[in-house]
Each structure stands twice: as C-alpha cells, then as structure tokens.
Amino acid sequence: MSKIIWSKIDEAPALATYSLLPIVNAFTKEAGVDVVLSDISLAGRVLASQGLAEDELSKLGEIVLQEDGNVIKLPNISASVGQLKDCIAELQGQGYDIPNYPENPTNAEEEAIQAKYAGCLGSAVNPVLREGNSDRRAAKAVKNFAQKNPHRLKAVSDNCGAYVAHMGGKGDFFAHEKSVTSAKDQKVTIAINGKELTSINALAGEVLDGTFMSIAALRAFYKQTIEEAKEKGLIWSLHLKATMMKISDPIMFGHAFEIFFEGVFAKYAAEFKELGVNPNMGMSDLEKKIKGHAKEAEIKAAFQAVVDADAPRIAMVDSDKGETNFNASNDVIIDASMPVVVREGGKQWDRTGAAGETVAVIPDSTYGMFHAEMVADIVKNGQYDVTTMGAMQNIGLMAQKAEEYGSHPTTFELKESGTVTVTGEDGVLMSFECEAGDIWRLARTKDIPIRDWVRLTVERTRIEGIPAVFWLDENRAHDAELIKKINEYLKEYDTTGLDIRFMNITDATRFTNAEIRKGKNVIAVTGNVLRDHLTDMYPILELGTSAKMLSIVPLIAGGGLFETGAGGSAPKHVDQFLAEGHLRWDSLGEFLALAESLRMINQKKPDAKLEAITAGLDAANQGYLDNNKAPGRKAGEPDNKASHFFLAQYWAEALAASDNAEIAAKFAPVAKELKEKEATIMEELMAVEGKAQDVGGYFHPNDELAEKAMRPSATLNAIIDSL
C-alpha cells in the first residue's frame, strides 16, 4: 500500500478536509493508495510543544528526506504572537493544561515557556518540509478556464497617482547587505562588541549574508511617506509580512504604528509603559491592555481622532468594524495585499469604505522594487486583459531554509550600538556598524539547493521552450555570490537553444510584464521571498486566485511535496461559515495536488489501476473547471461541500468509462447512483445554507462537530462510505 500524507492544518482548508478526505480515500484505496492525516496545525504544534501531542511536524520532516516521501501540504497559519495567544486561550478553554505565552519573560521559567512556544511562531512549518525547490505554474486547463471566464480587474484611473514607496537602498536591508561564500565547513560566530549573540555551523560552499535595517532611517522614511500621502491626498497603507518574518517585520510594523500615531504614543507613554503596551502587536492588543483603565475611553478617542482627521487617510482592514491597517501585524500580508492593490487599479479602502488611490509603503527595497514596478506598470499601461494575458511560471530557491525565510534564529533587535561581527575559523568574514534598536540578520543559502535550483531551471526551460529569467541583481551582495555559482553550474548542462537570462528585479519585472501583456509565457527564476510574492501576484491577476496554482516541490531526496493554494483569505471564509454555514474555500488546489501526487507514485511504481484512477481525476478536474463548479461566494449558492460532490461525480463517471475493466466495473454503479441522486444530495447540502455552525473551536475544532457540519448529506455519505 502506497501512502500519501495529507496535512491537517488550519482554518478554511482544514474545514474542507472533513468533507474532501473521505471522498479521496474512497477512490484512491482502489489503486492501493492510502491517504493519511498528519496534524501540523497551529493547535497541534502548540500541544506538541507542551508534550501533550505527538510532534507530527518533526515526523514529516523525516518523511521529506526519504526517497518515497509524498506529502500534500495545505496552507497553514504562520502564527503571529497574537494568533498564538488566541490559540493557547482556546485550548485552555477546552481543558488543556498549558501555560500562557509570556511576551516579556521575567524569570527562567517564563523564558523556558517562551522558548518552547517559539517554535510555533512564524514560518515554523515550511522550512521543515521544503527540502526541495519550488516549481509553481498554472495547469493549462486552469489557465484556459480563466481566459474563457475572466474575473474582473478594476480599471486604472486617468492620471492615477498610486505608487509604492520603499527606502530605495537608503538604510534598509538591501543597502547594508554583505555576502560571503564559506570556504569550508566551520563554526561561524555572530557577536556585537565582542559579545556572542549566537553561532552556526556553516557548510562549505554555503552563502552567508549579513545585513541590518537602520531604525533611524526607517522611522524617517515612515514620516516622509505620511507627509507625502497628506500632500497628494492618497490613502497610506503599510505592507509587511509579520507572519513569515516573525522577528523583523513585527518590529517594523510597531515603528510604523508609533510614527503614524506619534502624538498619542507620546501623550500616553507613561500609561502604555505601566500596562505593557507593545506597539508591535497592533491596536487590537493595545485595546486589550487598556481595557478597564481609567483613561481607556480617552485613549481610544485620541487614536480615533487621528483616523478621523484624514491626514492622511489610512487603509482599513475592515472599515465596517473600524479596524485600520494597524489592527494587528498579521492582518496585512504583503504577498496577498499588494496583488489587491494592483487588481483594484492602485486602490485601497478608507474608513468610509470608499476605494481610493494609495501609497503602498514597503520599507525594504529588496522586494519593494518588484511591487513598485507592478504598480507603475498599470499606471503607465492600464490594467491587464485576463482573456489574453500570458502566464508567469516560477522556479523558486527555497530548499533547506534558503535566504531570508530561514533567518529567524539569526535575527536580532540590537540592544546596544556598536560593531556586529560575523567570524569564521580564519577571522572576521563581515562586520557592520549599527545603532541600538537596529534589526540585524544573517541569512543562509546552502550549496546543494542552489545546484538543484539550476538543474530544475534547465529542466523546466527545456520542457516549456520559453524564456527563463534569473531575477538577480549583480549590485546586490547576495545575488552577486549566486550569479558566480550559477554560471559555473550551468556549464554542467546542455543549454543549447535555451533562453536563460539574468536581470535585476526592475528589469525582470518589466520584461515579464511586457511578455505577459503580449500573451506570452515566462519562467521567473527567483529566490525564496520573491517566489512568495510573484506566485501570489501573477496568479491573482491571471486566475483570480493563487489557490489554483500547481505548487510542486520535487524533493532533493527523490520524493515530492505538493502544496495547495494560499491561506490569506481563509480567516474570512471561516467567519462566513460559522455565521452562515457557507464555506467558499475552493479546493481546486487540493484536487490538482492530489493528481500530481498520484502521478508521482505511478511514475515510480507503475500500476494499471493507479494510472486509471489518476487519469479519472484529471478528467474530473477538467469537468470541474468546464462546468464551473467552484464554490459561490454567497450563502444560498453551492459551496465547498457541493464542489466536492461534483468532483466525486465527475471522477466516478470518468472511471466508469475507463479502459481498466476492474476499475470501470467498480465505479459504474457509483457513477450511476451519484447522478441519479444528484437532486437529493444537493437538496441536503443546500439545507444548511444560511444556518450558523458550531464546530467547537477556531484553531482546534471538535472533529465530530466539524465532520457533521461539513458532511450534511446522508445520501452522499452513504454512497462514499460504502466504497
């Protein structure tokens, strides 16, 4: 029996799994494939950190290092401190004896508790599982469907004033970066003024990058953008990624919060110090801290007065609830929020719910340059035409915690001014002059992932026959080191006839956009962070969502990790489901990932039944798209549960017509019954629309309640469970 690990994760995709997985197993077991759950949800990881559950993430970390490792990974919460605290509170309410998260430990016991929980924060899952580089692209059927059924992109106004503001290499991470390639396996120590911060064991050939964000420059930049937004009448919006960049970006968020409401923070500094207010946590946490204080109403009014002054207008997370861009650091995630700015024609929403042109503030120019060019492109050339635009495919360097996303253990908010040194066995490799409060980090990129990245690029470029562009800037220290390596490794392959180029971020964005506007396709070969940004931006413009992208990670050990969708909108989906019984999460990403996962098994161990089951799923996915069975957005329309029913129906119909006689005989009666009872099944599924649901928890649902809510059709359940 072959095995596929299906991750049990969080929010909307987790709810969808209660409905989808029984259908998947009913079909795949006929081909000798068992699909089993592994709980790597935030709640599961919290319980594991306290010894109250198995550490499933570590187990999966071992599986992806095996030759036959096969994992389907759904989107998980990359937890902020606020989300972690909410999850802990929910678990405590369910009777779990676990401690609170100490934000500011005051003794050794609290420091130990914080250390245990630290592994649950930020991008805790992806670095463990991503033991291969990323191959992301839209399946042809998905792209064709999007062009024939275009979603709407908002027109760009004449004389549009929207733009992206970044620091332009003045005091940011990009400006200060230094990079070296380790000549040998060695211990490398990071210290400030001779006092060790931490040490790592560097590998021969590994690229080490050191850099820092000047907080003085950052705060000056924020003040400048606020003044510019006032002068130009633009909405001011901040775009960071405090979920993945769990050390640096919450700090950068906190400084923006303080600067925007500078007068309020100055006036109530004593009260905020007394109450332990941490601006990095945002307004929602501040309101919790001041609750019940004698000046609570006065402080709230002071913040509201700044928002009401409209100088400048501030972007809102939820204008109906009065939640601004500063509600919580994890509310605005740049790779989800910036595509919306482009999609909406350079606009965000203000406190009245009105859309207005924005200055999108992205401090670090390392990737701010990409978003700046995306907005500049629509301002200059107008909105994209979904019916004709080409596609961006991506080969992303992400294996073994490559680049910035692996930098959490070596990121520090400096407590003192002075010299930060990075020292190897033969002396100082890099040094930096910093101020107290600056954010310093070291990122690592190992040699084996770089070699694999080059191999995958050559392979995909030959298969696709389209240009491949390495988004690398010779004037960036890290990129210069990579360029040297890539030029050497490309010599190991026959690249005759292949169009492989190197461009800096701005030029690569312009080239890609120009090709896409002509209806042509391009492969963007990028590092880890840009991979994340591009594979949300372009699919949202092309397809309406990044959830419909194929996301394949060919594991270096020989197996496969198949990632599905993007979870950025998952919280709103859950809110709607709990209120109305309607789940609008589209599981197409899971359908496509499952097909690729099954295909990999069959390529390694050819089997006639498995080939038939996989071909049937391909046909079902095509039918799902052709018949537009994606969930509706509103209660009263068929939702995620109905989409799973139609997948099962189309899958069974394809198998009933299979050339494999045994499979055809098995599924012919199933197809017949699903078709004949469609009206009854749909009636049962639609009966729960508009009705509130209780699944026993947001982070840690009760399995019985959640399954009942997500499998309301007794008729469908009986057919599936009888297989």
pLDDT tens track for 309-335 = 877 999 999 888 889 999 999 888 898
Q: Give the mean model confidence (pLDDT) for residues 177-187.
A: 98
Q: Are 476 and 174 in contact (CB under 8 A)?
A: yes
Q: Give the mean model confidence (pLDDT) for residues 250-268.
A: 97
Per-chain mean pLDDT for the chain: 95
> Could you read off the pLDDT of 387-398 as tens digits, one per residue?
999 999 999 999
In a domain, residue 192? The reply is: no
Q: Are 360 and 338 in contact (CB under 8 A)?
A: yes
Cα(57)–Cα(126) distance, integer angstroms: 10
> Could you read off the pLDDT of 621-674 as tens digits, one per residue?
999 999 999 999 999 999 999 999 999 999 999 999 999 999 999 999 999 999
In a domain, residue 409? The reply is: no
Ordered alpha helix ranges (H), 520-587? 528-543, 570-580
Phi and psi, residue 159, nearest 5°: 55, 35
> Could you read off the pLDDT of 45-70 as tens digits, one per residue?
999 999 999 999 999 999 999 999 99
> Could you read off the pLDDT of 147-178 as tens digits, one per residue?
999 999 999 999 999 999 999 999 999 999 99
pLDDT at 595: 96
Distance, C-alpha 653 to centroid of its chain: 35
In a domain, residue 77? The reply is: yes
pLDDT-derived band at 566, boundaries 50, 70, 90: low
In a domain, residue 161? The reply is: no
> Could you read off the pLDDT of 103-122 as tens digits, one per residue?
889 999 999 999 999 989 88
pLDDT at 405: 84
pLDDT at 567: 56
Q: How many residues does the chain have?
A: 723
In a domain, residue 624? The reply is: yes
In a domain, residue 704? The reply is: yes
Cα(687)–Cα(704) distance, integer angstroms: 19
pLDDT at 126: 85
Q: What tokens appear for 65 in the block?
A: 């290092």
Amino acid code (one letter) for 710: M
In a domain, residue 263? The reply is: no
Q: Give the mean model confidence (pLDDT) for residues 299-305.
A: 95
> Could you read off the pLDDT of 413-446 as tens digits, one per residue?
999 999 999 999 999 999 999 999 999 999 999 9
Return the bridge partners of 560, or none: 70, 554
In the chain, count H helices and then E strands.
28, 25
Q: Does the pLDDT at position 568 exceed 80?
A: no
How close are the terminal C-alpha atoms of the chain, in Å? 17
> Could you read off the pLDDT of 453-470 as tens digits, one per residue?
999 999 999 999 999 999
Looking at the 3D structure of the chain, how many domains does it have?
Answer: 1
In a domain, residue 661? The reply is: yes
Q: Which of 227, 222, 224, 305 is nearest to 257 (CA)?
A: 222
Q: Does the pLDDT at position 277 exceed 90?
A: yes
Q: Does the pLDDT at position 593 exceed 70?
A: yes
pLDDT at 122: 82
Domain range holding 665? 2-131+555-721
| Number of Cβ within a 10 Å radius of residue 542 | 25
Distance, C-alpha 683 to centroid of its chain: 35
pLDDT at 569: 54
